[in-house]
Amino acid sequence: MCQALLCDKRFHQLLFQFDEDLAARTRAAGCPRCGGVLHSAAYWRKPRGAPRGLLPQQYNQRASFCCAVDGCRKRATPPSLRFLGRKVYVAAVVVLISAMRCGLSPKRAQYLAQLVNVPRRTLERWRCWWLQVFAQSAFWKAARARFVPPVQIEALPASLLERFSAADAQSRLIALLQFLAP
């Protein structure tokens, strides 16, 4: 399931379309400080983690906007389903590989790490991020109250992914990425 989803061009195109919709809403809302018109100020990303040659060229740009009013120049960056904040790895890779990390055999873990070209040390950093940084974040402290019974912290993000009910794995993952979008 995991590798099929990560290797599906349509899935990545769908995430890109969600990001385009979020960007259009952000731009239409205007400057968060003064209400001025927002001009495009996209910045380049080097997304990692997806199988080579899979991601379209437009994945290399992250939508962002800058206020046109002199003296304001406030930047407005919409949330993204493709990236987790400033992380360089594709969000779907970070979530799925981290979720599978708990129940993988060493051979399967090695195969997935090679598929998405993620070093073992990076996998360990992601694990620490989920268990320490994410679990202690203000966002999670406020959001975890929505889940009854409570989400098991030691099994993040798999335990969180299980809480999103959807017809298929792709829809569950998209729901989780929408939940995580800042």
pTM for this prediction: 0.88
C-alpha span between 46 and 88 (Å, rounded): 7
The alpha carbon of residue 43 and the mean position of all alpha carbons in its chain are separated, in whole angstroms, by 17
Nearest residue to 159 (alpha-carbon basis) of 124, 134, 123: 134
Nearest residue to 11 (alpha-carbon basis) of 170, 179, 176: 170
* Strands ordered across the beta sheet of 65-67: 38-40, 65-67, 75-76
Query: What confidence score (pLDDT) does residue 6 get?
Result: 86
Nearest residue to 26 (alpha-carbon basis) of 69, 76, 80, 62: 76
Query: What confidence score (pLDDT) does residue 75 get?
Result: 94
Instruction: For 67, list phi and psi in degrees, rounded to 5.
Output: -65, 140
C-alpha span between 175 and 166 (Å, rounded): 8
Query: What confidence score (pLDDT) does residue 159 get?
Result: 93
pLDDT mean by block of 10 residues, the chain; 182 residues = 82 94 97 96 88 83 94 94 88 89 71 79 89 95 94 93 90 95 80
C-alpha span between 37 and 48 (Å, rounded): 33
Query: What confidence score (pLDDT) does residue 102 get?
Result: 67
The alpha carbon of residue 138 and the mean position of all alpha carbons in its chain are separated, in whole angstroms, by 18
Query: What confidence score (pLDDT) does residue 142 get?
Result: 95
Nearest residue to 51 (alpha-carbon basis) of 14, 102, 4, 86: 4
Query: What confidence score (pLDDT) does residue 108 get?
Result: 72
Name the strand (E) or helix (H) holding 95.
Answer: helix 91-101
